[in-house]
Structure formats: C-alpha cells, structure tokens
Structure 1
Amino acid sequence: MATVSPQETDSAPSDQPWTYTLRLPNDPRAARIARVTLRAVLSGHGMAELAETAELLTSELVTNAIRHSDGPAQLRLRHLCESRLRVSIWDTNPTIPAPFDTPPGRLDRLTALAEAAAKADDTHGRGLLIVRLCADNWGGYPLADDLFGISGKLLWFELTPLRSSFDIAA
C-alpha cells in the first residue's frame, strides 16, 4: 500500500512571478477579508515578513474603495522580481485622490512626514498618507470605460522585504 506524505516546502520566496485576484463586494467586511487573504498568500509564498505592513496598507486602500465608490472592488496581489510585492485595488470611482494622481517624487516622503505632523490630531483622512509613508513605491491611474468593460481607477503600492516601513512611519 502506497503512503503519501506532504513534501517539505521551502518557505523562502520564489523568484517566480505569481498573481492572485479577489473580487470584493461593496461591504464593510471587505477590508478584513482582503487582509486575511493577503496574509494567507504571503505566508504561503514565504513572504510573511511583509504581512504587517501589507495588511495595513491594503486595509487603507480597500476601505477607501468601499467608502468612496458604489460598486465592487478588486484586490490584486502580484509578486514581482526580487521579492517585490505589488498590491492593487480597483474600484468603480474614476476620481484618483491626490497625490496618487501624480508619480511620487524624490522628496515625497519628506512631504508626507510634514503632512503627518500637521494632521497628528485628525481622526480621519490619513489612510493615503500612511501608504505614502510606508510603501516603497505607489501610484494610481484611471481605467477607461472601454478597457475590458470596466471603468474606475486603480491604486497600487509596492513593498520589498529589505526595508522596515513601520520604522519610517513611527
């Protein structure tokens, strides 16, 4: 009788690209579902060291997508070369919030730190600021009405395991 046992898997991240996509309804529970999915994917691919920062930033973008659009949202997780993770959030609202409507500049982190100091007592409106402070790269672009039958916008950020984003935000 043959015996089957699970093979040992290497928990180190692979250099092979992968992509996961999750469609989210316009529901307040969507951010939690996105975080749980993200943690499972990163753990499964040996990228658990990115999980805390990725969860925080994903939660901010999904919450904004649900709050500021009427339709569903979509989460896309992509492993890029050199253990880089790109998280994208699509929603049906075509308005790209500033400063995601322009590419980040060399001094954007300093600008974001100054904004954070100015908004220290605010109780809302800091989600995209957190993304700017913690992500290695970020951006956004509109999606045309005729592109694959969808419209709206896509906001994204990238993380690499080489940098501690929480140190910058703290």
Structure 2
Amino acid sequence: MPETETEPWEYSLSIPHDPRAVTVCRRTLRLILTLHGLIRFADTAELLAAELVANAVLHTKGPATLRVRWSAGVLRIGAWDANPQPPDPPGELANLMDAEEGRGLALVQACADVWGWHPLSRCGNRGKYVWCELGVA
C-alpha cells in the first residue's frame, strides 16, 4: 500500500560510468514514484533525471549517484558526479531546438520549478551535485 504523500522519503542509486545507467535510473525512478503514489510526476521526473545522469556520465570519468527525495510536497532529483567543475550555464531552449547536444540543462531549467548545483564531497571524493525540484508551491 502506498504511503501518504506527506511522509518524507529518500533514495540513492549509485551508478557506474556507463551510458546504460541513464535507462536504469529512469526505470528505477518511475518504479519509486509509482510505489509512493506519485505517478503524476513520473514523465517529467524521468526526463529530468535522465538529463542529470546523462550529464554526469558524459562529462566525468567516474561513478555517479542519483538521489531522489520527497519532502513537504516537493520532489527533489539530483545527480552527484566526481567532477567539481560547475556545469555550463544552460542556453535558451528555443535557440537549441536543432542542436544535437547541449540541451540538457536547458530542458531541466524549462521543466523544473527550480534547479541549481553546489560543490560536494562524497566518500572523500570531490565533485558536484546538480539538482532540480518539482511540486514547489
């Protein structure tokens, strides 16, 4: 039986440096949201998670982590990677429609209520955490 939407929860999925990790993360996220009765977020959340994880896999050489948290009516999706460099600022999505790459953070910015990043250490390794939120009032 799904928990009520008021109970907070958090999941972390450690992923290897492998392009197949994007699909694993998307499917895992959909399952988590379905089991928690939050299927209404699934399509947008999958897109956002895929972009964040794809950036982590594409722009780094090490492992990454997908983190999903529900608290106070807000779904936060984030990806940690080992590269401490800040992400490139997103361009205007309208200007990137025909681009073959470089749309990831522009999609995140367009689809999420808020997004951001900050440097982060994990298990003694430096890196960054790029996050976005859905459901912000």
2:57 matches 1:94: no
Long gaps (5+) in structure 2: none
Amino acid aligned to 2:111: C
Aligned match for 1:133, one of 85, 106, 110: 110
Quick check: 1:12–1:47 contact (8 Å CA) kept in 2? Answer: no
CA distance in 2, matches of 1:161, 1:90: 22
Corresponding residue SS for 2:99: coil
Aligned match for 2:119, one of 120, 142, 165: 142
Amino acid aligned to 1:45: H
Amino acid aligned to 1:88: G
Higher alpha-carbon Rg: 1
Aligned match for 1:63, one of 45, 51, 54: 54
Corresponding residue SS for 1:36: helix
Tell me how large the CA RMSD over aligned residues is: 1.9
| 1:120 CA drift (Å) | 2.2
Q: TM-score scaled by structure 1?
A: 0.75
Quick check: 1:13–1:47 contact (8 Å CA) kept in 2? Answer: no
Quick check: 1:50–1:161 contact (8 Å CA) kept in 2? Answer: no
- Aligned partner of 2:127 in structure 1 is 152
Quick check: 2:113–2:136 contact (8 Å CA) kept in 1? Answer: no
| 1:91 CA drift (Å) | 0.3
Corresponding residue SS for 1:139: strand
Amino acid aligned to 1:89: A
Runs of 4+ in 1 over 3 A off after TM superposition: none
Long gaps (5+) in structure 1: 1-8, 101-111, 163-170
- Cα deviation, 1:13-69, whole Å, max 9, x if unaligned, reads 421110111000000100000001100100010100000000001001101100100
